[in-house]
Structure formats: C-alpha cells, structure tokens
Chain A
Amino acid sequence: MTAFLQSTFNGLVSGAFYALLALGLAVIFGMLRVVNFAHGAFYMLGAFGAYVLLAEAGVPFWVALAVVPLALALLGMALERAFIHRLTRLDPLYNFLLTFGLTLILQDLVKLRYGVQSSPYEVPAGLRGSVDFGLFDFPTYRVFILGFAVAVCVGVWWALARTRVGMVVRAATERPELTRALGINVGRWITPVFGFGIALAGLAGVLAAPMRAVNPLMGADLIIVVFAVVVIGGLGSIFGSVAAGFGIGMVQAWAEAYLSAFPIVAQTIVFIVMAAVLLWRPAGLFGRAEAPA
C-alpha cells in the first residue's frame, strides 16, 4: 500500500510537468492551429534560464519562477510575429519544419555556450527536506511542484471559463471564422496566447531545474511523451490535456513499479495507452471531431 501511494505520488509529480506542457500546447493549437514542436525547447530554456540567473547573477529560484516565464513569453511573442504567424497560409508540413528547426537551433545555441553535461541546481532553501504523510515521507519540493502545478491548471481553467478573454479564446478555438464574423478581432489575441503557452512551458522548466538534470536535451526527451499525452487527451482539448497529463504520469509510475519484469512494456506504456485510446476514440479521450469553421 505504501509503495503504491508513493509511486502514485511520484506519478502525479511527473504528471504535473506533462500537464503544464500539454496545457500550453493545447491553448496554442486551439488558437493558432499550430503544433508547436519547439515546446520542449522552451521548457529547456526555462530550466536553463533559472540556472543561468542563479549561477551568473545570484538570482534566487523564486524570482526566476516569475521572471523566466515572462522573458520566454516575450521571446515566444517575438518568434510568433517574426515566423510562426506565416504558417497559417502554408501546408502543415511547414509547421513541422519551422518549429522543429527552431528546436534544433535553440538546443544548439545552449550547447554551444554550456556544453551537453548537466548543470546542478539546488533545491531552494525553504523547500528542502521532506513532508511526513504518515505512511511515507515525501520530498517537500515535490509536494510544492504538485501543489503549484495544480494551482496553475485551476487558474488557467478559471480564466478560460469565467473571464471575457477566456470566452473569446474558447470561441476562437472552436469556430475562428464565425468568431471574426461576430465582430471579434481574433488576430489580436493570437500573439498573446502563443506567448502564454510558451510561458507555461518556461514555468515547467523552472520548476524542473532543482529536480531534473538541467541540460540542452532535457526537453527533447520529455516532449515526446507530452505529445502522446496531448493525443490521448484530444488535440486542442484544454481539459483533456491536463487530465491526460496527470493520468499518464500515474500510469507510467505504476508501470515502473509493477511491470519491472517486463521492461519493454514499462518503458513504452505511454505509447501502448496512446494506441489503445486512438483505436477506441480516434479524436482522443476529450477531443471532438473537427468542428465547422
């Protein structure tokens, strides 16, 4: 029982990263119809941003948690204005080429300056040690990540469900053409939404810095699972991406704990789940078939 709870908790923490990344991908896809293959690179930049700020300027974790996502949002918005917005009129293949190319450029720029070895990042002072949950202890920092990620997801949900901007984003996501014909300047919201999605990736990166190895390829490994998460949740479904993020985190942790006799299954469980979901529901668990314009 203790082992089960512990692996569940670990799964939820991995799931927190998947959920934050998938959420950003979902809002970006919804509004821009662009699959951002560079999302993992922005997550990596988030972690490196925190590392560089601390190592070279002594900027503490808490400041980085606010500053790095904001800076990446600005970078994302600049890239959207310069390149990404050109994709709307092009074949989807260019979507892949541009955002994947961007990934390689960002990764190599970081490699050039910091090499490929992992850089250490200390857990911030107030979050060291562990919390006693009775049956087991759990690292305080991981509890923090889980709480923080859940709060961010709930906050985003609230903003989408209850604010005027959220309503416009939902409308433009569901029916972009009709929304324009009803007098809404959809284009005005595209750049900020892209920046917001990138900020979520950066936030996940900062959160990852004290827990995961900070290196130029950290995003590349993670993002493959995140794409599986997005497909399972239903491409473009906000709720689906968050639920699938936490769900897949748990499934992965359980597979590691209980299927260690079948390492091939344990390591590929995400893609086995994805294949099964796609056979059962081709649009994903919470996706809807492509809506009219």
Chain B
Amino acid sequence: MLRIENLSAWYGEAQVLRDAGLHVDPGEVVTLVGRNGAGKSTLLRCVMGLHPGWRGSVELDGTALGNLSADRRARRGLGWVPDDRGSYATLTVTENLTLPPTVGPDPWSLERVYEAFPALYQRRNSAATTLSGGEQQMLALARVLRMGARVLLCDEPTEGLAPLLVQQVGDLLREAKRHGVTVLLVEQNLRFATSVADRHYLLAEGRVTAAMENSEVRSRERELLSYLGI
C-alpha cells in the first residue's frame, strides 16, 4: 500500500534521513518508534509531500508519488495527523472537520463523528484551539476519518494524553483498522504501540535499523525503553 525506499532528507546541510525504507500493507497498523530527533516527523512530512529537501522513493498503491503536491497526495487518500494536532484557531470545530474534501470510498459523516465524540458536538461552534489537548487530538483524527483517508499518517497522537484518552485513541485506530484503513503511526508509548499495531519499525539516526513483531517488542521492552530514553 505504502512503500518507502532509500528515503533521505535534509534540513539545509543537515541530513536527518539516510536511505530509510519501510512498507505498510493494506489494512495494517504499523508503528515507527525512535528517539526524539530521529527523523520520524520528517519522514511523515516527506510522505505527505511537505518536505522540500528529499531524495528516494515513496509509493502509494504501487505508484511513485514523485513530486506530487501535498493536496494531490491527500486526494489520493493520505490523511496526515500532525504532531501539533493541527487545529485552526480561526475555524470552528465543525469547520475544522468539514474543511477537507472527502477523498475515500468510506468517509465518516459529520453526524457519525459527533455521535462518537459528544464533547466535540458540544463545542462545535467554538474555535478549535479552545478545546483541551485531548479533544484537539480527537478532532485531528476525526478530521482524517471524515475525509475518508485510506492511509493515516499519525504523528504521536497519544503524546501528553491522560490514560483514558490514550485508550480512546486506541479504540479509534482499531475501529478504523476494522474498516480497512491503513495506519503508519509514530509512537513513543510502546505499550500503546503493541496494543494497536501489527508490526513496528525502529528509526535510529535517520535509518530504519529494525523491524519487529509485537512479541519481539514486548520481550525487548526494557532495552527499547532505555534506548528511547523514556
């Protein structure tokens, strides 16, 4: 579904990705773990077509995306959930949800979003940035589901969330997976990662250095946690 090969990326002179490669098959949930600064967000931005200094190959459904613009990539079914949650201060909650076009065969309706998140419904006419951090995270996830995105690129959706909200994010991702949505998930919380994902990649100094099954992550948890510095 999504295949990344020999992906390198730079900020000016500084190289942050070095021939990184990974793939996510249809309907899979795959996580990308790595220390702060390893290049995880940059990788997602490259997939989304937002990072100017890159080289390598990103394929979606077997076609190379090349220099396709970000908006065209979104229209092909990529749904980005940025690390800062991407709430618009000048748009209401409803507008945040209805801004993107629908791009996939199975978009959530606004009613369905509001049924799943009564808190968002209650604040539907407020500026999105007045929501709590957890609510903004749900909004960002709900937005790409309402688009009908087929491949979600989620950048640390559980960061800074209370356990109950982390569980909600997990429920949402599992439900999306049940409907055939594919997910590439950047995650630092290994317990959470193994509870939602099928497989895991480790990104270190810009390279993908390991591909792990759930069982391997569980058995190496201590080692991985100390490596990640958590």
Contact = CB atoms under 8 A, between A and B. Distances in A.
Interface of A: 167-168, 170-171, 173-175, 177-186, 288, 291-292
A59 B73 CA distance: 50
Interface of B: 48-50, 69-71, 73-75, 80, 82, 84, 86, 88-91, 95, 99-101, 103, 143, 147
A167 B70 contact: no
A161 to B, nearest CB: 10
B92 to A, nearest CB: 9
A171 B99 contact: yes
Contacts of B71: 180-186
A33 B99 CA distance: 21
Given A170-B91, A171-B91, A177-B70, A183 B86 contact: no
Given A180-B69, A183-B147, A174 B88 contact: yes
A174 B100 contact: no
B90 A183 contact: no
Contacts of B75: 183
A178 B91 contact: no
Contact of B86 (A170, A178, A185): A178
Contact of B90 (A170, A182, A184, A185): A170
19 contacts: A167-B99, A170-B88, A170-B91, A171-B88, A171-B99, A174-B91, A175-B88, A178-B80, A180-B69, A181-B48, A181-B49, A181-B73, A181-B80, A182-B147, A183-B71, A184-B101, A186-B71, A288-B89, A292-B84
B199 to A, nearest CB: 25
A168 B69 CA distance: 17
Contacts of A183: 71, 74-75, 100-101, 103, 147
Contacts of A174: 88-91
A168 B91 CA distance: 10
A274 to B, nearest CB: 25
Contact of B74 (A168, A170, A181, A288): A181
Nearest to A186: B71
A175 B103 contact: no
A175 B69 CA distance: 16
Contacts of B86: 175, 178
A44 to B, nearest CB: 32
Nearest to B78: A181
A177 B69 CA distance: 11
A174 to B, nearest CB: 5
Contact of A180 (B70, B88, B89, B147): B70
Give me the 10 closest cross-chain CB pairs, A-B, nearest first: A183-B74, A182-B100, A180-B70, A170-B90, A181-B70, A181-B80, A180-B71, A183-B100, A185-B71, A178-B86
Given A167-B95, A181-B48, A181-B71, A291 B100 contact: no
Nearest to B103: A183
Contact of A182 (B49, B69, B143): B143
